[in-house]
Amino acid sequence: MAVSTHARSAGQGVGISETANPAAVPGVATQGLGAVADVRQPRPRGRSGPHHAGRFRPAALDLRAAAVSPRRGNRRRCSDELDDPRSLALPDWLTLTNLADALVAASADAYQGWGDVVIFAACTAVRIGEVSGCRVGDIDTTEWVWRLRRQTSPGPGGLKDKGTKGKRSRRIPIIEDIRPLVLNRIQAANRRPDARLFVGPRGGRIQTGVLRKATHWHEVVAKLGFEHLRRHDLRPTGLTWFADAGVPLHRLQQIAGHTDPRITQRYLHPDIEALQNDGQLLSIHLRAPQRSPNGPQLRVV
Contact 181, 188 (CB under 8 A): no
Residue 195 pLDDT: 97
Nearest one of 43, 45, 48, 23 to 33, comparing CA atoms: 23
For residue 146, give the 3-state DSSP assignment: strand
Please state, rounded to an integer, the average pLDDT across all residues of the chain: 77
Residues 150/133, Cβ–Cβ less than 8 Å: yes
Query: How many angstroms separate the CA atoms of 56 and 13, rounded?
Result: 12
CA distances (Å), origin 125, targets 42, 75, 77, 171, 179 = 41, 20, 22, 12, 15
pLDDT band at 52 (very low <50, low <70, confident <90, very high): very low
Specify which residues 230 forms β-bridges with: none
Q: What are the residue ranges spanned by the domains of the chain?
A: 5-68, 85-243
- What pLDDT shows up at residue 300? 64
Say if residues 132 and 198 touch (Cβ distance below 8 Å).
yes
Burial of residue 250, with CB atoms counted within 10 A of its CB: 0-12 exposed, 13-18 middle, 19 or more buried: exposed
- CA nearest neighbour of 114 among 195, 236, 214: 214
Provide the terminal-to-terminal Cα distance of the chain, rounded to the nearest Å. Answer: 62
In angstroms, the CA 159 to CA 177 distance is 31
| Residue 127: per-residue pLDDT | 94
What does the pLDDT read at residue 297?
61
Of 32 and 261, more confident? 261
Residues 123, 179: Cα–Cα separation, whole Å:
11
Burial 154-191 (b: 16+ CB within 10 A, else e): eeeeebebeebeeeeebebebeeebeebbeebbebbee
Q: Say if CB 131 and CB 142 are below 8 A apart.
A: no
Strand 139-140 to 36-39 pairing: unpaired
Domain 85-243, CATH number (from 1.10.240.10, 3.40.50.720, 1.10.443.10, 1.20.1440.230): 1.10.443.10
Q: Which of 129-138, 236-245, 285-294 has the lowest mean pLDDT?
A: 285-294
Q: At what angle do helices 112-124 and 234-244 cross, to 10 degrees?
A: 40
Could you tell me the pLDDT band of residue 70, with boundaries at 50, 70 and 90?
very low
The answer to whether 135 touches 193, Cβ cutoff 8 Å, is yes
Q: Are 8 and 60 in contact (CB under 8 A)?
A: no
Q: Pick the more confident residue, 228 or 36.
A: 228
* 77, pLDDT greater than 90: no
Decide: 124 and 238 in contact? Cβ < 8 Å: yes
Any residues with CB less than 8 A from the CB of 5 and at least 6 apart, and which? 76, 79
Confidence bin at 53 (pLDDT 50/70/90): very low
